[in-house]
Amino acid sequence: MGVGDPPRILVTTFRGGKAEEYVDALRQAGAEPILVDPSTDPLPSLEGVHGLLVTGGADVDPALYGAPESPHITHVDRERDELEIALVRNARDAKLPTLCICRGLQVANVAFGGTLIADIPAALGDHAANRHEVRGDDGRAERGLIPGHVVRIEPGSTLPRSVRTLEVETGSRHHQAVDQCADDLRVVARTDDGIIEALEARFDSPFWLAVQWHPESTRALDGGESRRIFLSFVSAAQVCRTYKPVTR
């Protein structure tokens, strides 16, 4: 690769998925996305890539975090779970810049030993203070900003350096969330009802962020916070590309 080439970002998705919004967000930020899904064989090497993006999707299999089956979990993708867990762990070992979004946050937490809430409405009941998912008349989840879904960020974390604020009103479409945070991670943002909305790494990494909301869908709708998350991630990947060869 030449000096002026964009950093190459591995992007996970379901079998046959295109991950269009994520791909567009990365290209807009100056990266070259490379899709990987459970049909990719063997497990992709991290040699020659400069970042990992773990995207949204189906629920994580509760067996992977020692939980019983739940009536609130209607669809899992075990082969994708196993692929992404392996990649997240390998990326940690390689000190590869990593961004995890929605399901990606949940996968990363499980990969490092944490657990999940099977269903937010069932867990919170009358204590829910935010809408974590809104569906239209057609049954599809709302992809834009949700008024009142405010994420409050810890002042001492690194996330504010990307979004340049301590409060983000953003979009949300998840019914699961982090329960017990993995020891290798730390909670850096929540909504007012206590739902964990962002995690950062306790281990050494040039960039490691997991968010529960969907910055890929709100890049043109918020005050620039969504774009800045991708720009910060790609900037870290660019530094990795320029100064540090990545090996698996």
H or E stretch at 101: strand 98-101
Say how many residues make up the chain.
248
Query: How, if at all, do strands 51-54 and 177-178 pair?
Result: unpaired
Which residue, 205, 204, 202, 209, is CA-closest to 239?
205
H or E stretch at 33: strand 32-36
User: Token digits for 198?
Assistant: 């962002």
User: Token digits for 44?
Assistant: 């992709």
Active-site entry in 84, 169, 216, 225: 216
H or E stretch at 130: none
In the residue annotation, 102 being an active-site residue is answered as yes
| 8-state DSSP, 34 | E
Which residue, 144, 166, 168, is CA-closest to 219?
144
Is the CB of residue 178 less than 8 Å from the CB of residue 199?
yes
Active-site entry in 84, 174, 214, 240: 214
Active-site entry in 102, 132, 169, 200: 102
H or E stretch at 145: none
In the residue annotation, 100 being an active-site residue is answered as no
Q: Which residues contact 52 (CB under 8 A, 6 or more apart)?
A: 9, 10, 12, 46, 87, 88, 91, 96, 97, 98, 99
In the residue annotation, 167 being an active-site residue is answered as no
What is the Cα–Cα distance from 49 to 34, expressed in whole angstroms?
Answer: 9
The residues carrying an active-site annotation are 102, 214, 216
